[in-house]
Chain A
């Protein structure tokens, strides 16, 4: 770990406007000492991958509450790989049924999936430990 602050992109892909979770998590990450870039709403996977590249981030957090996660998460992951950012930590949050979450992780589309009720400290601790290790 060098002295550079860990940079995290919090992104809202798709048409879903529910940004309460994304904004609360973004603020918790900032309070935990990370540098947070929040994309704002209604981003295409292409826009997210482009921002991740431009901002040279260490982790990407996608927030999806619309049920489109099985389409959107693999697309973002693929575009990150295409940009040479396949090893960037990928965390997904939202209303993700357990089976879907497991599938996203097993297929290498996401490193971790957080669902409603997850304490903020668990999220910040997870990201901190993964990136610093």
Chain B
């Protein structure tokens, strides 16, 4: 646009501002859920420097702002992947087969806390937690039951597991082999993102250095043997749930991503050998436009840095593929049916932002694990967006909007500013060590809660239009005997397996941990002998030690 025209628009905008000042304005601040002030009107003045070819480009082309696939949803709808798991392996297997029958297109395993923390169900530390907020998996035997009658060469599986990711991944691979499926046929994702555990989700086991080694061992093993596997899902979801702003989620997640890239390079791997299998995982919070811009900015930042700073050449290394989950922290315990509406708005932002797969929360997840009915509505929400709303018909439909492009740019530059601060602190690990991320998130979480308490941030049914009615909704109850049953099965397993062979494999693993060899083949060997998760993790703890956090608030 020429300068003369812009000057004219500028003058008209000033007139409009004068007029609008004379009119009434609402009392609520016009801010995003992250506390970002939003202008009343965006015009060509806000996108003056936008260069279509350089900043947007075409879908499937650098810098991928408009999407990583050439055809996006015109080619194939995103993967509908509901995160699910509870009770024991057979309870969860039934739920998975139900979801697949209802048209779900991928699986996503939620493990219980003992599994996430590397304890067997019979550990003292597991008391009261077995099968509670996910499925209890102790050994390959449980994994076999979990995927009974599920064709793992045709269904891809995402597993939310971090500290002990290598162990659960090996169980999945061993089960596939037992089903007669080659490792090159198996596809899926392990979360395997330990940095965001230190930053936000707090399910860590080992200190950073050995944790990063296990991660790069997985990168290398997958590159050679499991080419369809996404070796990591670099996650902003938990950073956001812990209370961060949208810009912090964006910046901290990408900073983690670059830290993994550097770890892989430092481990001697060629960037284009492992980077194509890096994937991401973002939150879809309630502020519709800010979220859409966050996804667009994320793709552009990733592509630019991977190319310019790290010299990646394979275009698959430049493409940020990501999963999205609607924001659990946006759900309310009051009038839980309203959560269906919130989730719909959030899911639509993920779709308009170009997600590759999506989990929609069930309305009752703020109260308990979801019932079958609630999870079905959540899945139907995605199906309505995909097949009725028209949102999947055209690619990146909001591109070119003055507001969307201005906000996308703004988020990108805020992320760049955070990268500078993190670099100044000495990188991601140093910033974790001095509590930088943790404090930034705690501050944002506190500010948000204050805004809600003071009514500056409206939450319908909570601090406005609150009727005080008691919640009336059926909740899923976990079988109270699940712990006892699981412990009993574990005892039987330990009696029938070859205990001496298990012991030898664990000794071999410890020897490997003291050296530099890739540990995955050794873990796979132990898993196939039915060594339990807790035994394998304990063996590694002896060599690696455990992480401790300095508690901040």
User: Which A residues fall within an 8 A CB radius of B?
Assistant: 10, 14-20, 22-24, 26-28, 30, 36, 38-42, 44, 66-68, 70-72, 95, 97-98, 115-117, 119-121
Interface size class of B (residues with CB under 8 A): 35 or more
> Residues of A contacting B201 with CB < 8 Å?
17-18
Of the candidate stretches B14-22, B127-135, B495-503, B523-531, the one touching chain A is B127-135
Cα distance A42–B471 when bound, in Å?
A: 31
Q: Looking at the assembled complex, report how far the CB atom of B541 sits from the nearest CB atom of chain A, in whole angstroms.
A: 14
Q: A14-B113, A27-B553, A38-B553 given as contacts; is B475 within 8 A of A97 (CB)?
A: yes
User: Which B residues fall within an 8 A CB radius of A?
Assistant: 113-114, 116-117, 119, 125-129, 132-133, 197, 201-203, 241-243, 329, 332-334, 366-369, 442, 445-446, 449-450, 452-453, 459, 462-463, 470-471, 475, 478, 549-553
> Residues of B contacting A95 with CB < 8 Å?
366-368
Q: A23-B442, A71-B128 given as contacts; is B202 within 8 A of A115 (CB)?
A: no
Q: Looking at the assembled complex, report how far the CB atom of A65 sits from the nearest CB atom of chain B, in whole angstroms.
A: 8
Check B242 against A41 for contact (C-beta < 8 Å).
no
> Residues of B contacting A44 with CB < 8 Å?
125
Cα distance A67–B119 when bound, in Å?
A: 17
Q: A23-B442, A23-B552, A24-B243 given as contacts; is B127 within 8 A of A71 (CB)?
A: yes
Output the nearest chain A residue to B116 by Cβ-Cβ distance.
Answer: A15
Can you list 30 residue pairs at the A/B interface with Cβ under 8 Å? A14-B129, A15-B129, A16-B113, A16-B129, A18-B201, A19-B242, A23-B442, A24-B243, A24-B445, A27-B553, A28-B449, A38-B551, A38-B553, A40-B550, A40-B551, A41-B202, A41-B551, A66-B113, A67-B132, A68-B113, A68-B128, A68-B129, A70-B128, A72-B128, A95-B366, A97-B367, A97-B475, A117-B334, A117-B459, A121-B453
Output the nearest chain A residue to B203 by Cβ-Cβ distance.
Answer: A17
Output the nearest chain A residue to B114 by Cβ-Cβ distance.
Answer: A15
Cα distance A24–B459 when bound, in Å?
A: 18
Cα distance A13–B114 when bound, in Å?
A: 13
Check A115 against B333 for contact (C-beta < 8 Å).
yes
> Residues of B contacting A117 with CB < 8 Å?
332-334, 459, 462
Give chain A's interface secondary structure class: loop
Check B333 against A66 for contact (C-beta < 8 Å).
no
Interface residue from B367, B368, B553 paired with A36 (Cβ < 8 Å): B553
Check B202 against A19 for contact (C-beta < 8 Å).
yes
Cα distance A117–B329 when bound, in Å?
A: 10
Top 5 closest pairs, chain A to chain B, by CB: A71-B128, A40-B551, A17-B202, A68-B128, A67-B132
Cα distance A14–B332 when bound, in Å?
A: 24
> Residues of B contacting A66 with CB < 8 Å?
113, 129, 132-133
Output the nearest chain B residue to A64 by Cβ-Cβ distance.
Answer: B128
Cα distance A27–B263 when bound, in Å?
A: 36
Q: A67-B133, A116-B332 given as contacts; is B445 within 8 A of A20 (CB)?
A: yes
Known: A27-B553, A95-B366. 12 other contacts (CB 8 A): A15-B116, A15-B117, A17-B202, A18-B202, A23-B442, A24-B243, A24-B449, A41-B549, A97-B367, A117-B332, A119-B452, A119-B463
Check A98 against B241 for contact (C-beta < 8 Å).
no
Q: A39-B551, A67-B368, A117-B332 given as contacts; is B445 within 8 A of A15 (CB)?
A: no
Q: Looking at the assembled complex, report how far the CB atom of B361 sits from the nearest CB atom of chain A, in whole angstroms.
A: 13
Output the nearest chain A residue to B125 by Cβ-Cβ distance.
Answer: A15
Cα distance A14–B550 when bound, in Å?
A: 17
Which of B119, B201, B241, B453: most chain A Cβ within 10 A? B453
Cα distance A4–B123 when bound, in Å?
A: 41
Check A120 against B445 for contact (C-beta < 8 Å).
no
Check A15 against B113 for contact (C-beta < 8 Å).
yes
Q: Looking at the assembled complex, report how far the CB atom of A56 sits from the nearest CB atom of chain B, in whole angstroms.
A: 19
Output the nearest chain A residue to B332 by Cβ-Cβ distance.
Answer: A117
Check B470 against A98 for contact (C-beta < 8 Å).
yes
Check A27 against B114 for contact (C-beta < 8 Å).
no
Q: A66-B129, A71-B127 given as contacts; is B551 within 8 A of A27 (CB)?
A: no
> Residues of B contacting A71 with CB < 8 Å?
127-129
> Residues of B contacting A18 with CB < 8 Å?
201-202, 241
Q: Looking at the assembled complex, report how far the CB atom of A63 sits from the nearest CB atom of chain B, in whole angstroms.
A: 11
> Residues of A contacting B113 with CB < 8 Å?
14-16, 66, 68
Q: Looking at the assembled complex, report how far the CB atom of B121 sits from the nearest CB atom of chain A, in whole angstroms.
A: 12
Q: Looking at the assembled complex, report how far the CB atom of A42 sits from the nearest CB atom of chain B, in whole angstroms.
A: 8
Q: Looking at the assembled complex, report how far the CB atom of B414 sits from the nearest CB atom of chain A, in whole angstroms.
A: 22
Q: Looking at the assembled complex, report how far the CB atom of A69 sits from the nearest CB atom of chain B, in whole angstroms.
A: 8
Q: Looking at the assembled complex, report how far the CB atom of A25 sits from the nearest CB atom of chain B, in whole angstroms.
A: 9
Cα distance A42–B368 when bound, in Å?
A: 21
Q: A27-B446, A66-B133 given as contacts; is B242 within 8 A of A20 (CB)?
A: yes
> Residues of B contacting A121 with CB < 8 Å?
453
Check B553 against A14 for contact (C-beta < 8 Å).
no
Output the nearest chain A residue to B461 by Cβ-Cβ distance.
Answer: A117
Q: Looking at the assembled complex, report how far the CB atom of A64 sits from the nearest CB atom of chain B, in whole angstroms.
A: 9
> Residues of A contacting B203 with CB < 8 Å?
15, 17
> Residues of B contacting A30 with CB < 8 Å?
553
Which of A15, A40, A119: most chain B Cβ within 10 A? A15
Check B478 against A23 for contact (C-beta < 8 Å).
no
Check B553 against A23 for contact (C-beta < 8 Å).
yes
